[in-house]
Chain A
Amino acid sequence: MVELRDVHMQFEEKKVLDGFSLKVEPQERLVIMGQSGSGKSTVLRLILGILRPASGSIFFKQFEITRLQRRKLQRVRQHMGMVYQYSALLSSHNVRDNVALPLEELTDKSRTEIDKIVDEKLDLVGMKDTKDLLPEELSGGMRKRIALARALVLEPELLLLDEPSAGLDPVIASVIDELIINLSEKSKVTSITVTHEMDSAFRIGTRMAMLYQGKIIEEAETEKFKQSKNPVVAQFLSGSTEGPILEGSLDAITKK
């Protein structure tokens, strides 16, 4: 479904991805874990074609994203749904218009058909009664659910989720996670989630990958991943301050 081959990416002087390779199979729920600022969100933006890598190839189905012209890329993006960390709902549009936006802009469906689909998707995320509200009137968890409904409205084959439970209380975070699992099982959607929230990651993922220093250093099925002997993965999962992740920087912190 998705493949990234030897991708290199840097922002000015900072190298973010350094020979990043990853393969995602259909209907898989892959979770990419990594430290803050390690380039997890960059991977999602590269798959969407919003960022272009310095080198390497990115494939979505038979399309090489890195070589697509803008027009073709826009068509390919319609097969993907993205949920942003801070939801990225259009603040000047109400919930109904936010969810209906891709349908109104990209399909020839009538208003009645669009309203029916919007109702269906909002019902799916349990937010049918919020249709007339503006994003500013919603809580963080509600916004995430609306963003999820918007991402699903075009029935995408690939769902990209950027920190879906970040900033939410544990109960709402679990609700969002369950929602993601149910939706991907029901709609047979492949999903890639990036997060550093351990509980959420293990709940959602059927396979896990660890991004460290611009590369995937470990990838395995969830249970296997938990038992990983890789010192970086072990330290990340345990949250310990002892280990290779903070080597050097811990000395600097303690000296201060």
Chain B
Amino acid sequence: MANTNPPVVVAQEIGQIGRNFLREVGSVFWFIANMFEEALERVQHGRVPFHAASFFRHTERAGVDSVPLVGLVSFFLGLTMALLTGYQLQRFGTERLIPGLVAIAFTRELGPLITGIMLAARIGAAFTAELGTMQVSEEVEAIEAMGIGPLRFLVAPRMLALFLLMPCLSTVSNLAAIFASSLVCKAYFSIAFPYFLDLVKDSLLIRDIITGILKSFLFGLLISAIACYRGLTVKGGAAGVGTSTTSSVVTAITVVIGFDTLYNIVYIVFFPT
């Protein structure tokens, strides 16, 4: 008979959630490992794992088509950040710190994070819905039945596209935000463009740029893996596609923010200077 003691029930629920979480993490890990295995097998046989056309189609959709959104949102954020911090810093006569503050905040943290969240919503949802629809209409099974590895054929080009495009889009985000803050600095705090650029160059470290780029690669990998995994494990027809798409976006955004925090902790603890 099931135990009805409230603390036991709560503990059981937590245990169940923990078990499901670990099962999901394990499944995504094996999903990525199997994709690499299938792709490498093809390379060993002297064949490309997927067609270049398929890869470029996804890079165009995930990358080029996302530039306006990423650029615009980052521009507004950069504008807001420069304005809000500027007025506070002005009280202490330190408004010349704005360029460095925005540049460091975006290259190191906000650029990859904002881009990750936007791509999880825009491209992650698209990948999950597309693969999920293929799954419920037996297209994925048909690919498998032909003797073609569905992971290397469907997942590898999407993952590689997002993996390579994320740092580029993060850079777009950084540049848009820095440009926006330069407009604010010029208009409200009388900081001319050449001086603004000097201040940015003085405050930015190579380490900040590398941190942001490494994070972007990681986020690209995580978002695409979660989106494709959710898409290929859809069950239950059209409703299942909807549920998986929502779950994919929520999971990817949570994982991106979680990994960002973890990354910062590890980076600050192990590489303090």
Cα distance A101–B134 in the bound complex, in angstroms? 16
Contacting pair A80 B148 (CB below 8 A): no
- Interface-lining segment among A71-79, A179-187, A200-208: A71-79
B137 at the interface (CB under 8 A from A): yes
Shortest Cβ-Cβ A-B pairs, 7 listed:
A88-B142, A77-B147, A88-B138, A78-B147, A74-B147, A82-B145, A102-B146
14 other A-B residue contacts (CB within 8 Å) besides A90-B142, A90-B143 = A50-B144, A50-B145, A74-B147, A76-B147, A80-B145, A82-B146, A88-B139, A88-B141, A91-B137, A91-B139, A101-B146, A101-B148, A102-B147, A106-B147
Cα distance A86–B136 in the bound complex, in angstroms? 11
Min Cβ gap B71→A in Å is 28
What residues make up the interface of B, taking CB atoms closer than 8 Å to A? 41, 51, 133-134, 137-139, 141-149, 153
Given contact pairs A71-B41, A105-B153, A86 touches B148 in the complex (Cβ within 8 A): no
Cα distance A71–B153 in the bound complex, in angstroms? 15
Q: What total of chain A residues lie within 8 Å of the partner, measured CB to CB?
A: 24
Residues of A within 8 A of B41 (CB): 71
11 contacts between A and B (CB under 8 A): A50-B141, A50-B144, A74-B149, A75-B147, A88-B137, A88-B139, A89-B139, A91-B133, A105-B153, A106-B148, A150-B146
Residues of B within 8 A of A48 (CB): 145
Residues of B within 8 A of A80 (CB): 145
A84 at the interface (CB under 8 A from B): yes
Cα distance A11–B41 in the bound complex, in angstroms? 32
Q: Mark A139-171, 1 if CB is under 8 A from B, else 0.
A: 000000000001000100000000000000000
Cα distance A19–B144 in the bound complex, in angstroms? 26
Min Cβ gap A180→B in Å is 17
Residues of B within 8 A of A90 (CB): 134, 139, 142-143
Contacting pair A106 B146 (CB below 8 A): yes
Contacting pair B142 A82 (CB below 8 A): yes
Residues of B within 8 A of A82 (CB): 142, 145-146
Picked from A71, A89, A105, the residue with its CB within 8 Å of the CB of B146 is A105
Cα distance A74–B142 in the bound complex, in angstroms? 12
Of residues 44 to 100 in A, which have CB atoms within 8 Å of B's CB atoms? 45, 48, 50, 71, 74-78, 80, 82, 84, 86, 88-91
